[in-house]
Every structure is written in structure tokens, then in C-alpha cells.
Structure 1
Amino acid sequence: MPAVDTFVARLRQRHEPLPAKIALIEGRRMVSYHQLWQQVDQYTARLTQHGIQPRQVVAVGSANCVELCAMVLALWQVRAVPFVINYKVEHLPQLDCIPVYLVNTKNTPPAIKSYVHSHYTSEDFDDTFELIRCCGPSTRKEMGDAALLVTSSGSKSQPKIVKLTESGLGQNVEGNVAALGLRSDDVTAMALPMGYSYGLVAQWLSHFYVGATVVLADARFFLAELPRLIERHRITTLFTVPPMIRQINYFADRGFFRLPAAHSLRFVTVGGNRLERSSLTKAMTVFGCPLVKTYGLAEAGPRVATNFVSEADDWMADSVGRPNQGVTIRVLDAKRQELPPFKPGIIHIVSGSVTAGYVNVRKPRYLIPGREVTTRDFGFVTDTGEVFILGRRNESIYLNKRRIWFQEIENLLYGEFSLLKLSLDRQQRRVRIRAVALAESQLCSQRIVDYLGTQLSVDGRKVFDVEMLRTNEFLSEK
């Protein structure tokens, strides 16, 4: 049994009064909290037999499933440091600092299997997992007081492996639970990968903390099956990212996504990036419940601000909300002095859930481990504490002597065209736009250039370079 002061012990203690409560649903399989902890104990004994040591990092390669959930909890019980890998797998060659892998033989992405089998030696673990150890010297990093490793989004550069502490993880989960008002009678449908901190911490662990039920859905068919899942399991909370919302809106417009008027949803969250007003307004009509805009980053734990939006036409709908409990958000100028309300500057986060550091990159200049992190986001805070994010400092361009933020351009394009995702980059005095159009769209790059030129009163050909992608190859980017 784990020490009573650990996060996993707190979870177990909170679940003891709920032995028959359904913890996980995967397809036709339902697992109670009692059954789950029995499996956790079996994994714990096997991990001990295989010599897994406290503070040792163990990467778990697996799609979302009951066994993955049990394995993460078991690794915590032996005081190891789990690192779930089912997201950003293309960056695996940079992970030679991980000495041990547990690979799910049934559902691990091929890229993970190929990597670990070419670099490590394997041994049997059980019917589900294969244990694979480094067969040579590894560049092992000091973990300090890390309890969990997560991967940052890496939207503009190399994804970073972030170390979260025991206390910081607990604080972030508690703050997220309080901000969202999660309850033990909640049921959430989960398609976000657990290798993504938004899915692992903000959805799975936050719901587990209150003894709720988590439905592990197949991400490949999630949107098509979602109305059925909501009705069958009485889903109350749904966690999404902007491309999912845009696809749902698209399906709804064509009659392929319909919810009954008396459905069970209490709210739908959206995180991972900014959601434009047009999609927010449409989604609130489709779901018939509040949308919750969340803000954060893996380095901060990950959730730091929350905005329940019940009226899309309210100007506050553009805010990411107020800081969660235990979090302070400040706005700094170039000299790192705090700015007054409504004055734009760099977003700075103060929280006990801030990362203890990184595994695969140097310590950045503006990080105080476990306390403070200066982000790359540019925004402002109102006099009542609401946080508005304008974008990254370089995500703007001056046109006709006016500063145009990229999010203004995105608002125009998402509001006019059927787009799944946009990516904008500034290249000197031009803006490069990569766009993925939704299915059946006949959109071409010249239409986008002409439209932006008209809306912004410029010669679009001199400002914008547009590339239409007929694939979702960059959907895993932030």
C-alpha cells in the first residue's frame, strides 16, 4: 500500500466508499473502483517482482484503455515516475533518457513498438504488457521530486518533457475540480489521449479525484458515436479541442449530429488552443449547454484558468476566464514589471503546480521550478481578474499602421469558410497561412487571399501566402 501522503493514496482513500461505483467503461466492459484497484495491486506486485524502483522513470506505450489507467496507478504505488506515450509519438527518437518501457502488445502505436524494439531488450510482463529495458547506457536524467512526466504541445518547436511534482499535481487537479464543479455522479466521455496533459490530468485524473465515471472511447470513431454515447451512458461532461468542435459543428449543419432536447450534458470544455467566437456560438446551439473555455500549459500543471460561457454574445466570452484556485496570473512588460489592468503584456503564472523542470531541454530563463513560469503568450487582465489572450508576441502584423493579431485573421476565416484548422506564421512582412478545409469544401487559396484583402483593406497578394492542405497532417499540433 502507498504512503498516505501520496497522490495515489489520496485517490484510493477517496474511492474506498465507492467499491461498486463504475470507474471505467471501455466498449462493453465496465470496471468498478474495487475491480480497478484489484488490478492496480496485481500490477504493483508484478512491477516489484521485475525490480522497478522508486524514482525510476517508466514510459507506458498504450492507447487509452483500462489497463493503461491501472498501470499508471500501479507505478505510483511503487513510487516510480510514469510517462504515458500515445501522443506526439513521432518524437520518440529523442527519448533515450527513458530506461524502461511498458508496451501494450494489443494497441500500442506502431511507431512506439518500432522504436523500443530497436533500442531495448524485452521480457514478458503479462498478457497485456511487455517490459522493455535499455540494453546500453542511457542519458538518464535526475528526476528530483518528479511524480509524473507529461509532454508539452510543442506547437512551434520541439515538444518538451515536463516534470510534475506530487504536490503540484494534486493542487492542479483540485483547482480544476473546483473550477469545473466536478461531482461523483459525473460521467465523462474521453477521446483525448492520456499522453496529452489535458487528457491525463484535466480529464481523467480530475474525474477520478471525485469518484466519477470515465468512458474510454475509441478516438477514431468518437465524433460519429458521440450522440449515442451521450444517450447510452448519460454523459455529463465532455472535453474537447477546437478541431473537434469545428467538426461537430460541420456534422450538425449537415444533419449528422443531433442531440435530444433533454440530454444529460452539463457542460463541454474546450482547451489546447483558442476557439473562435463563430464556432463557440454554433457549438452552444448544437450542445444546448454552457461551453467552458480553459487555459493552461503543461508547464503549469496544466490547467490555470476557466471561463464558463453561457451567453456567446457576451464580450466576456472571448476571455479564458479567471485563475483557478491556487493560481495567480500577472501581466509583465519587457522589463518584467507588472502591468496595470487592460495593459497588454506577457502572461506570467504563479502556482505551486508549475513544473519542476524539463527532461529533454535546458531550463528556460524565466522558470522558477515549482513556483513561477513566464509563458510566451501575450494578453491582458481586466480589473475584475478575467484573462484575455491575444496570442504569442510575434503573432501579429502591422497593416495600414494598425496591429492585426493573428486571431483576428483566424476569426475572419473561420467565420467565412468551412475550415478545420489554421496555422499562421509571420515571415518578415508576410503571413504564411496553412489551412485544412473540412470535407467536401471546394475552397482554394486564392479565395482566402482575396477575402482577407477585402476585409483588411490591403492587397492580399502582397501580404498573404496560403497553402491548402488536403490532409490532417498537422492536427496533432497545438
Structure 2
Amino acid sequence: MPSIAAWIDRHAAERPDAPAVRFGDATLDYARMAALIDGTAGWLRATHGIGRGDRVAWLGTNHPDMLVLLFAVARLGAVLVPLNWRLAVPELRYVMLDCGPKLLVAQPAFAESAAALPHDPAACAVHLADPAAGGLAAVAGAATVEDTGGDADPLLVVYTSGTTGRPKGAVLTQGAVATNAANARAMHAMTAGDRVLTVLPMFHVGGLNIQTTPVLQAGGTVTLHERFDPGATLAAIETLRPSLTVLVPATLKAMIEHPRWAATDLSSLRAVATGSSDVPVELMVAFRDRGVPVIQVYGATETAPVAVFQTVGDPDGELGSIGRPAPGCSIRLVDEDGAEVPDGTVGEIQVKGANVAAGYWDDDAATAAAFHDGWFRTGDLALRDRTGAYWFRDRLKNVIISGGENIYPAELERVLRTLDGVAEAAVVGRADPRWGEVPVAVVVPAPGAARDRAAVLAGFRDRLARFKHPKDVVFVEELPRNALGKVRVDLVKALASGRPGTQQGTR
């Protein structure tokens, strides 16, 4: 099988003038994009000696150059390492030392960080791709490069967000990315006529692989925003008329709260995909009330990520579900002994399919712990109902075991979101001498609201079993989050444990 660069070559041959990527005022049609990919592959090979298995890192915001680089390394059988530009230099250096890229391609805005990253400058060249000077187009040659990549070749080393510890590099093959694209196309009923608006960062599989690479496989058009801005996103929806976009809960909320929300014409959107955490139903309802279907997708960096999804045709009663398995995935729920659980019982989600990562880069121990007989152990908990729909419950690592009872923080967080005076909240466990662990609510007060601990605790009366109620409330100015808006549970736990005194009331 040829590399995924063949997607672009095929569309260039069949529809050379069709728009592939839009960015600002510029548009790359498929013919031009294919030429840039070929020329960049030639430059990578001739100037930097990039070949099969070599790693090329990218440090920059969303830009067509990143997509060109992705398909160029695919043609060579090489590997792209997208770096999270929001990380500090020591964090980026850890990733660079872990995967050992032969070349770092960076935007000039990150030149200072790029210069500090390579551990051995002789082993890792740095190239600044300046958009003002043409970016990769300025170095791309004209020679044709033979397509030597294939399904089995590693294509991406994507580092996990590291919400609980050191990040690990999930290795996604070209076959995994292609299978994921097919899964995503099935989720969205995606065709060459679709216009995708990408506002999430493409250093994460959510921004790169839920809609962006799938629409290029389909022959449609992707419009890139350098980074998310709610006003710019609303303006683009109204003027460019995209049919699809992906938004995580934090960006859904930012758009709903923007002054232009009510007046913006959203009618071009056939669907908004969302995921990456337990999505508050009220955020989805706000879009649905505007006539825009919101469909959930479940997955992880290690699943490329599309593993379970909803479609626009799913019953209204399944709002809040994560959907059903993708065509290219097998899903099972297991207990702590590895036995499959019956419908209606919470178990750990495990995923098997050609979209699943080959393992973690240079980390046999972590690979053995997470992957077994082709199954990826997600560490997420869900239940399956009698109709086959899956319902997310929580992260396995987040479960609080208090007095022998399992308490799922997400269940408490759903209650907290309904309380007056609470802007947002997270629930974590705190060590307790009597119960082993107790739940603690870490709360961001709504603007102008009092920091009323008693009122927050009272909000749980008659809504959840008493043993599940938070035993303390910690008020903070904001919740610590990572680049995609996911709450950093490790930092929230530090906030909770730093507050002395736990109420040990009746259970």
C-alpha cells in the first residue's frame, strides 16, 4: 500500500483545482498541495538526510506547513513529532530527548525555544519555516520523490497530555491514521463536499485526526485557524459556511458566552463534534437549541483517536452518550480482573483495531502495561446500555475509594455544574484517616458569588447518596488546565490537599 500522501496525489489528479487547505487569505488547491508535499519530501531527503524511521519535529501553531510536512514524511516512511508549543522549554526538551528527532522545523515565533531544545545540535538540525517568506514552499524543490511509505510505517509520535505524570509518545502508524480517517468519515458521513473548520491545535490528535486528516482523505476542504478564538470562530462559521467543526467543552463554553453567539448564523453546520472529557449536556443543548446537532466522539491519543462515536441520526434520548463503536474498532468493558462485564455495569473501556497505537516510543514497560493481545487499556470507565450505546463514567485513576465504596468524581461534578454560584468545579480524592479517601470539591465561584462552603455542600442533599457527598470545598480563582482545556487532575489534587482540615461527617 502507498503512503497516505497518495490521498493528496489522487485528488490532485482527479480534481486539481479543488481547494484543499485554506489559511487566512491563501488557498492551497490539491494540485499545489501535492507539489509542495513532493518538493518538501525532496528537501527533507536531500538536505537533511531524512529517510525511513527518522523523526522530524514540528513546533508551531496551526498552519498548512504542518500538514505538508505530515504528508511529506509519510512519503519517505519517516515520522512526524508534533510538539505542544504551549509547553515550557524543559517540558519540550524532555520530549526531544525522548524521541531524538533528526530535524526540528519551527515557526520563527518559537525560534528562542527551538534553539534551546536540541540536546546535541550536531544530531538535530533546526529549520525556521517563516510564513512571511513562504514557509516550506521556500525550500521545497521540484524533483519527484518516490513514495516509499506504507501502512506499517510509524507516522506520528504524539505525546500524551501528561495530566497525571510524564508524557509518553504514542506511536501511530500510517495504517492507524488511515483507519482512523475511515472511522471519522463514517461518524460524520463525510464527503468531498464537506468544509471543515479546524480551530483546535493540531499537535493533538483531536485537532489533527477527528476531522482534518479525514476530510483530506475524502477530498474536501479544511480551513485552519492559527489558534482558537471564539469571535474569530463565530465569524468564520458565518462567512465561510463550514459544514463541520470540532470543539471541546472549554471552546463550546467560550462560544456560547461570546457576545456574538446569539446573532451568528450557524445554519451551515451539519454537525459539531465534541469530546476529550465528560461533556456537560447543557453545552450540547445550547447548540442543539440553535439547530446544530452535537455529536460526541470518544477516544484517546492511543486510538488516533476515533473509537466510539455518535452520529446525527442517534435518538434524542442518547444525548450525553458517547455512542457506539466505530466500524474499525472492537470495544469491551472489563472489571479489575479482566473479565467482561454485563450491560448496565461499569467497566474499563478497552479498544482493539487497526487505529490503535503500536505502543509507546522507546518505553517497553509502559507499552506492556497499556497494550495486551491487541487491546488498549484506556483507563476510562463506562457502561453499555441494552441498546448498545456507551455512557462514559470517569477515569479509572480518578475513582475515589472511600470506606470501600467507589465514588466517581464526574457524577459529583455534574451536580456541581447545576448549582447557583458555581462557575466550574472538579472533584478529587483527599487522603483521610478514617475512610482512606474522601471527595473534595474544588470550585471556581461564579462572578459576584460568595464563597459559601455550606451552600455548595447543601446542593448535594437528596441528589446523591450521602457517602458520595464532598467532605470539603476548596475555592480557587481558576482550574488548572492543559492545552486542550482538560483539567489537570494532578494539580487539582495538590490544591485540594493543600487545604487543611476535612469535615468527617456522617456517611
Task: Summarize deviations over 1:75-108 as a string: whole Å, max 9, x none.
Answer: 1122211111135634213221323233333343
* Displacement of 1:162: 0.4
Counterpart of 2:231?
224
The more displaced of 356-365 and 315-324 is 356-365
Alignment check: 8 A CA contact 1:88 1:476 kept: no
Identity %: 20
Partners of 1:301 and 1:216 lie apart in 2 by 20
The more displaced of 449-458 and 381-390 is 449-458
Alignment check: 8 A CA contact 2:73 2:80 kept: yes
Task: Summarize deviations over 1:288-336 as a string: whole Å, max 9, x none.
Answer: 2110111001112211011136799x44212100001111111112221
Residue 378 (structure 1) aligned with residue 381 (structure 2): yes
Q: Kindly provide the amino acid, as one letter, of the partner of residue 374 in structure 2.
A: R
* Displacement of 1:55: 0.9
Equivalent position to 2:242, from 235, 244, 258: 235
Q: Kindly provide the amino acid, as one letter, of the partner of residue 50 in structure 2.
A: I
Counterpart of 1:42?
39
Task: Summarize deviations over 1:372-408 as a string: whole Å, max 9, x none.
Answer: 2122112222233211111123534578998542222
* Displacement of 1:367: 4.1
Partners of 1:302 and 1:75 lie apart in 2 by 20
Equivalent position to 2:344, from 334, 342, 345: 342
1:185-196 to 2 correspondences below 5 Å: 185-196=193-204
1:146-185 to 2 correspondences below 5 Å: 146-185=154-193
TM-score normalized by the length of structure 1 = 0.85
Partners of 1:39 and 1:181 lie apart in 2 by 29
Alignment check: 8 A CA contact 1:366 1:373 kept: no
1:71-86 to 2 correspondences below 5 Å: 71-86=69-84
Q: Kindly provide the amino acid, as one letter, of the partner of residue 92 in structure 1.
A: L
Task: Summarize deviations over 1:172-218 as a string: whole Å, max 9, x none.
Answer: 11111112111211111111111101111112101111111111113
Partners of 1:83 and 1:189 lie apart in 2 by 23
Q: Kindly provide the amino acid, as one letter, of the partner of residue 249 in structure 2.
A: P
When residues 369 and 11 of structure 1 are mapped into structure 2, their CA distance, relative to the original with a 3 A threshold, is farther
Alignment check: 8 A CA contact 1:353 1:371 kept: no
Alignment check: 8 A CA contact 1:353 1:370 kept: no
SS at 1:48 equivalent: helix
Counterpart of 1:31?
28
Partners of 2:423 and 2:224 lie apart in 1 by 24
When residues 435 and 443 of structure 1 are mapped into structure 2, their CA distance, relative to the original with a 3 A threshold, is same
Task: Summarize deviations over 1:49-74 as a string: whole Å, max 9, x none.
Answer: 12112110111112111122111111
Counterpart of 1:134?
none
Counterpart of 1:12?
9
Counterpart of 2:280?
276
Task: Summarize deviations over 1:144-186 as a string: whole Å, max 9, x none.
Answer: 8422211223222222210011222211111111121112111
Partners of 1:172 and 1:6 lie apart in 2 by 15
Partners of 2:485 and 2:458 lie apart in 1 by 26
SS at 1:120 equivalent: coil
Partners of 1:123 and 1:218 lie apart in 2 by 22
Counterpart of 1:257?
261
Q: Kindly provide the amino acid, as one letter, of the partner of residue 230 in structure 1.
A: I
Residue 302 (structure 1) aligned with residue 305 (structure 2): yes
When residues 184 and 420 of structure 1 are mapped into structure 2, their CA distance, relative to the original with a 3 A threshold, is farther
Partners of 1:435 and 1:34 lie apart in 2 by 52
Alignment check: 8 A CA contact 2:400 2:428 kept: no
Alignment check: 8 A CA contact 2:172 2:356 kept: yes
Counterpart of 1:446?
453
Alignment check: 8 A CA contact 1:294 1:307 kept: yes
* Displacement of 1:476: 4.2
SS at 1:108 equivalent: helix
Unaligned segments of structure 1, at least 5 residues: 132-143
SS at 1:308 equivalent: coil
Partners of 1:377 and 1:447 lie apart in 2 by 32
TM-score normalized by the length of structure 2 = 0.80
Counterpart of 2:66?
68
Counterpart of 1:100?
102
Alignment check: 8 A CA contact 1:436 1:469 kept: yes
Alignment check: 8 A CA contact 2:271 2:292 kept: yes
User: Number of aligned pairs?
Assistant: 455
Partners of 1:461 and 1:386 lie apart in 2 by 28
Alignment check: 8 A CA contact 2:308 2:324 kept: yes
Counterpart of 1:317?
319
Residue 198 (structure 1) aligned with residue 200 (structure 2): no
SS at 1:89 equivalent: coil
Partners of 1:116 and 1:399 lie apart in 2 by 44
Alignment check: 8 A CA contact 1:177 1:206 kept: yes
Alignment check: 8 A CA contact 2:250 2:485 kept: no
Tell me which protein shows more strand as a share of its residues: 1
Alignment check: 8 A CA contact 2:352 2:376 kept: yes
Unaligned segments of structure 2, at least 5 residues: 140-151, 432-436, 487-507
